[in-house]
Each structure stands twice: as structure tokens, then as C-alpha cells.
């Protein structure tokens, strides 16, 4: 594979990492299908092609958006793909980064445990729901769905309990009857259906904002954004990866399977991935209104004290690349 995976232990604790060098670009992403664009760009050498020989590429794999944004804050990540909600929450507290492109829409589903008795969203009343991380994108998507049936989470005076766990470990929770449902990114949602007898409650077209639900965006830290040449090189590689996925969906899925299995140690079935792949839309575009609504829900949840995200989204670099 044409990539360099560095310091996994360092990534977990986010400590002891060497500061960024001028000739090193640190790219972050997660081991989920919704980060397919970054995986394809790395595997196919698109970043290497666009950055040139004078730039060294290091990759940083993390399991949730909070860790990603903390790594960006400490300069362990320069640029990469992350869910919009962590980008929003950290921006309100410390506006040192920007969203500069979309990556994937959809790609998250709401799955219930077999015999949970949950037939509609309102049945989540009094239930326990797994999410990847408190304050993450699937957390906010779940809250959006709960709002529509007048339910709240327990920490906000409601009856729905949240349980944060890495998506790859959610199957075990289902098998152990430890949770009743999961708001989860693909391919883990479909894996719950096939390996843990999960039942799909809301598919990607009906969960939260549906096809406009923004799962991952490209985020870059402020200092990196000062180098316009590098930013545009990243976005050109990003666009190449989007085009490749559209033109070669089966090959793209094979690459993602290999990445996820290597990074998580979990077996991922090709048929499962193919089905899950139908639950995402790969694109550089993003719906700014959806991100604004995510900020409002995050504020209502108490994760941030303001929903003012002016300056967070900057698509100028992307527009120049597209011209």
C-alpha cells in the first residue's frame, strides 16, 4: 500500500508525538466506510502525485472525531476527514481550523437489536443506544431523530440512554444484550444486521437529514491553510479519489475492506461492504444548512455554549480546484 502508518500507540494516547515538520503532511482519518475517499487517495498514491517528492506523508488513524480534533489541536494532524459535529464543537471553543470540502453524505443508520420491541423511533423511550462517541456526528443525528418524536437523552432530562463505544465493538454489545439499538456508520450497521441479527430501523435515506446528512468533511488546521499550494494539492487528490470511486466502485470497495481489516482486525465481508456502499454518497459538495442545524442541536445538548460557526466553512480553495 502506498502509505505510511506511523505511531499507532502515539495516536491512541495523543502524546509524545513529534511536532509537525515543514516537509511532512499529517493526514487523519477513521477505519470506516465513510472515510473511503481518504483511503482511496492514500492507496492509489493520489496525495503523493499532487504533493510532489518534497513532501513526506504520514497518516494518523483514530477511532472518533474527538480524538481527531484533539490531534489537530496538538498539530498531530494537519488535514483529513472527520465528521462535521466534532469540527463544529471544537471550532466554537477554539476556531483554529476550517471545513474546506465535503467527502461523504449518508453512510449512517439506526439499527435495533433483535426482539428489542423497537418498531418505530418513539419506541426508543427507555432504551439504551450505542453511538461511536458522545458529541459525535451519529450522536447528533440520533438526537435529530429523537427530537422528531419528542424524546430526549437521559443527560438532558429524557429517557434514552447513550452508550459510547467504537463501531467495530458494537456487535459484541448486541450479542451480549448490552444495548437495544445503535446509531452507527457503515459498514458496521450492515454488519450488525448480518452478524448480530440486528434490524434496520432507519436507513441512510431516512436517518436524520437523509441523503443530505453529512457524514465526513475535509478539515484543515489554520496553520496548514496558510499554504495555499498544499491545500489545493490535497483537494486535487481528494477530487481524484471521488472520481475514482464513482468510476470504479468494486475496486474501491476492495481497497476499503483491506484497510478496515488491517486497521481494526475485524473481518469485513465483501457482500456486506457492497450493500453498505449503496448507503453512501461520495461527493466534494456539502450542505451548509445541515451543518448549521447540527450546531444548533449540539448547543441544545449542552456540548457547546454557542451555535455561532461563522468562518468554519470555507469552500474557496475547493472552488478554485474545480475551476
* pLDDT per residue rounded down to tens, the chain (323 residues): 444 444 433 333 333 344 444 479 999 998 888 899 999 999 999 999 999 988 999 999 988 888 999 999 999 999 999 999 999 999 999 999 999 999 999 989 999 999 899 999 999 999 999 999 899 889 999 999 999 999 999 999 999 999 999 888 999 999 999 999 999 988 889 889 999 999 999 999 999 999 899 989 999 999 999 999 999 999 999 999 999 999 999 999 999 998 888 888 877 788 888 888 888 999 999 999 999 999 999 999 999 999 999 999 999 999 998 87
- Give the other-Cβ count within 10 Å of 169's Cβ: 14
Instruction: Return d(Cα 68, Cα 26) in angstroms, integer.
Output: 12
Residues in contact with 206: Cβ distance below 8 Å, sequence separation at least 6, in sequence order: none
DSSP string, 46-66: HHHHHH-TT-EEEEEE-SSHH
Alpha-carbon torsion (199, 84, 73, 6), positive or negative: positive
Residues in contact with 61: Cβ distance below 8 Å, sequence separation at least 6, in sequence order: 5, 8, 11, 28, 29, 30, 31, 263
Best CA proximity match to 138, nearest among 172, 179, 186: 186
User: Which residue in the block uniquely carries the three cell numbers 475514482?
Assistant: 244
Q: What integer pLDDT is reported at residue 193 of this predicted model?
A: 92
Q: How much is the pTM?
A: 0.84
Q: Which three cell numbers stand for residue 127?
A: 432504551
Which domains, from first to last, does the chain contain?
A: 8-106+213-322 (3.40.190.10), 108-211 (3.40.190.10)
Sheet with 97-106: strands ordered across = 56-61, 24-29, 79-82, 214-221, 97-106, 280-282
Q: How far is CA 72 from each of CA 1, 90, 96, 212, rounded to the nearest angstrom? A: 24, 10, 9, 26
Amino acid at each position: 500500500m502506498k502509505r505510511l502508518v506511523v505511531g499507532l500507540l502515539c495516536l491512541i494516547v495523543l502524546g509524545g508525538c513529534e511536532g509537525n515538520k515543514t516537509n511532512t503532511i499529517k493526514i487523519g482519518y477513521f477505519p470506516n466506510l465513510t472515510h473511503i475517499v481518504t483511503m482511496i487517495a492514500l492507496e492509489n498514491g493520489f496525495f503523493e502525485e499532487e504533493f510532489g517528492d518534497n513532501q513526506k506523508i504520514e497518516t494518523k488513524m483514530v477511532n472518533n472525531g474527538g480524538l481527531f480534533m484533539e490531534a489537530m489541536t496538538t498539530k498531530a494532524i494537519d488535514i483529513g476527514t472527520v465528521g462535521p459535529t466534532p469540527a463544529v464543537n471544537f471550532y466554537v471553543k477554539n476556531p483554529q481550523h476550517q471545513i474546506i470540502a465535503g467527502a461523504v453524505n449518508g453512510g449512517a443508520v439506526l439499527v435495533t437489536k433483535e426482539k428489542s420491541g423497537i418498531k418505530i423511533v418513539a419506541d426508543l423511550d427507555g432504551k439504551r443506544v450505542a453511538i461511536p462517541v458522545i458529541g459525535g456526528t451519529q450522536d447528533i443525528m440520533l438526537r435529530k431523530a429523537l427530537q422528531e418524536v419528542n424524546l430526549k437523552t437521559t443527560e438532558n432530562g429524557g429517557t434514552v440512554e447513550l452508550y459510547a463505544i467504537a463501531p467495530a465493538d458494537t456487535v459484541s454489545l448486541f450479542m451480549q444484550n448490552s444495548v437495544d439499538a445503535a446509531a452507527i456508520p457503515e459498514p458496521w450497521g450492515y454488519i450488525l444486521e448480518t452478524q448480530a441479527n440486528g434490524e434496520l430501523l432507519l436507513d441512510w435515506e431516512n436517518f436524520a437529514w437523509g441523503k443530505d446528512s453529512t457524514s465526513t468533511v475535509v478539515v484543515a488546521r489554520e496553520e496548514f491553510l496558510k499554504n495555499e499550494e498544499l491545500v489545493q494539492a490535497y483537494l486535487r487528490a481528494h477530487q481524484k479519489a471521488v472520481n475514482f470511486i464513482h468510476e470504479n466502485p468494486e475496486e474501491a470497495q476492495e481497497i476499503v475492506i483491506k484497510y478496515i481489516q488491517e486497521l481494526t482486525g475485524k473481518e469485513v465481508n465483501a457482500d456486506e461492504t457492497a450493500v453498505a456502499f449503496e448507503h453512501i454518497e461520495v461527493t466534494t459538495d456539502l450542505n451548509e444548512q445541515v451543518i448549521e442545524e447540527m450546531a444548533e442541536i449540539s448547543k441544545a445538548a449542552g456540548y457547546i455554549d454557542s451555535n455561532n460557526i461563522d468562518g468554519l466553512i470555507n469552500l474557496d480553495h475547493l472552488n478554485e480546484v474545480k475551476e
